[in-house]
Structure 1
Amino acid sequence: MIKSCVTIALVPQIKSGPWIYWEDLEAGMEKASKLGFDAIELFTPAADAIEIPRLKALLANHKLELAAVGTGAGKVIHGLTLTDPDPAIRANAISFIKDMMDFGAVFGAPAIIGSMQGNVLPGNDREETMSWLAEALNQLGKHAESMGVILIYEPLNRYETNLLNTIEAGSKFLDTLETKSVKLLADLFHMNIEEGNLEESILNWGKYIGHVHFADSNRRPMGFGHTSMQEIASALKTIGYTGYASAEAFPYPDPDAAAEQTIEEFGKWFR
């Protein structure tokens, strides 16, 4: 059964981003629980930003799971990416992600690599850049396996990265890796920009999908754009997806209304 999830961000530098709840972890969890969400997806400045015993207690108290942890603070705060030409920066990026993986693994939650994948920078060779990405994902995938979790890689739209933009491209790239512990994040917002047919992409490459971001075509909560969810929901059920549909969406028109809209749409398609 597909499970519902809402995002909570605790990184001031990304406050304008697509997260439903902000700043107050406990208040966000209390609201999510009351609305009937199954889990939260958490964005923190660092792996040690929240004490593990405190988070365990909060999750238990609110009957929530930790679905995933984001790593974007590594780029936003520290300027780290896995494809920087500087090997020291790449090494620090891997170390930052490993720390986030260790934090998430305590709860059985994967880490997500989104913006920290980086770009092919002007004047750099694409093949070499992709080799850096492969090397990093192989290291991190093996670390994920040792921790008993998977690692989530997110194909982003062309305005955010020039590495891998579609589920097909991401799937074919994963096939070249030594590790089999890396899965893809199917972000419906990014897919609305890049995929010719969202349903077909999910059906064709479904075995690679390990997480779903549940946001509409304009990155507002589902139902506030033009995404056709009927076919997408059907495709996710057909491939046997049993992970989370996580609302990485703008808090439009406000966090509470966005959360209510999300859980209503989730119930419409997945319950």
Structure 2
Amino acid sequence: MMNEWKIGISSVQYANNSSPLLLHGTIEENLQKAAALGYDAIEIHMRENEILNYDHIRQAMRETGVSISMIVTGKLATEGFCTLTDDRPYVEKAALKGVMDYIDIASKLGAGIVLGWVRGTIPANQNFTPYMRRLGKNLQEINNYSKVHHVPVVIEVINHYEMNIFTKAEQLLSFISEWELDNCFVHLDTYHMNLEEDNLSETILQVGDKLGYLHLADNQRWYPGSGNIDFISVFHALRAIHYTGYVTVECFPRDDRDDTAKKAIESIRDLIKQSS
């Protein structure tokens, strides 16, 4: 029987040991690792200005049968220090240009893009309104550009300890509707949801067909099934909204990264089976 959802895993070329990105190596190497572990897809954390050999990557995708789910834009903010709400116009412009570059990359690889940290954080004691207006205008440009290039944009809901824009799903849903972002979707993460939402499955039902992507991690941000989150209810809710997208592991390694990746997919498969 075919999987109801494609199971993905986070990947990056280089990262420190405190990162929740399990596969390390080149894109081609990570496609091979994912295939060996039984994953259907990888998401790629990278800079927007990396030079890629698209022919080699596509060949590795064909050989392994593993797809690329998302290109993640976070490094534009964490390494490039550019966000879409920055008070400095030239930085804001650089962030918008960088996101467009990510869309170009994703278009060539049949992937979507994740917008998380690149939206920025509003400075303390500042009025939210001008920042949200700035973000809305930039996201409209991103929305229109990505739609032309057939690249879905998923905006991640991140807990309030890390960000202060879109910390709950209902906030993002309202914003997407207000700004008419028809090619932008909600990206949920069970770790962040567990910190912010009253009920994970009810939140998924609320998001409904605007759910574009899902990260899986348990309450302590280890692999799904290692903690206290009720993933059975999560999978029931995904079925109820007829979600057919990716469910992607983004978690900290408990010990060895490869061993954690192996335990994660085994646990996810078991939880999906239990929820059937």
TM-score (norm: length of structure 2)? 0.93
Q: Compute the displacement of 1:25 (Å).
A: 3.5
* Alpha-carbon distance in structure 1 between the residues aligned to 2:126 and 2:237: 38
Tell me what 2:232 maps to. 230
* Alpha-carbon distance in structure 1 between the residues aligned to 2:17 and 2:108: 26
* Alpha-carbon distance in structure 1 between the residues aligned to 2:256 and 2:173: 35
Q: What SS does the aligned partner of 2:109 have?
A: coil
Q: Compute the displacement of 1:147 (Å).
A: 0.4
> 1:11·1:73 contact (CA, 8 Å) conserved in 2?
no
Tell me what 1:9 maps to. 12
2:152 to 131, 146, 150: 150
Structure 2 matches for 1:1-271, cutoff 5 A? Answer: 1-12=4-15, 16-270=18-272
Per-residue Cα deviation, 1:77-97 (whole angstroms, up to 9, x for no partner): 110011111111111101101
**CA distance change for structure 1 residues 11 and 136 in 2, over 3 Å: closer, same or farther?**
farther
* Alpha-carbon distance in structure 1 between the residues aligned to 2:171 and 2:183: 17
Unaligned runs of 5+ in 2: none
Q: Compute the displacement of 1:28 (Å).
A: 2.7
Q: Compute the displacement of 1:24 (Å).
A: 4.0
Q: Compute the displacement of 1:47 (Å).
A: 4.4
* Alpha-carbon distance in structure 1 between the residues aligned to 2:180 and 2:206: 22
Q: What SS does the aligned partner of 1:7 have?
A: strand
Q: Compute the displacement of 1:248 (Å).
A: 1.1
Q: Compute the displacement of 1:178 (Å).
A: 2.8
Per-residue Cα deviation, 1:48-80 (whole angstroms, up to 9, x for no partner): 332211211111121110100100110111100
Unaligned runs of 5+ in 1: none
* Alpha-carbon distance in structure 2 between the residues aligned to 1:83 and 1:218: 30
- Code of the residue aligned with 2:60 in structure 1: it is L
> 2:186·2:207 contact (CA, 8 Å) conserved in 1?
no
> 2:48·2:99 contact (CA, 8 Å) conserved in 1?
no
TM-score (norm: length of structure 1)? 0.95
* Alpha-carbon distance in structure 1 between the residues aligned to 2:231 and 2:167: 21
Between 177-186 and 188-197, report the one with greater CA deviation: 177-186
**CA distance change for structure 1 residues 50 and 57 in 2, over 3 Å: closer, same or farther?**
same
- Code of the residue aligned with 1:217 in structure 2: it is N
Q: What SS does the aligned partner of 2:198 have?
A: coil
Q: What SS does the aligned partner of 2:7 have?
A: strand
Q: Compute the displacement of 1:15 (Å).
A: 5.6
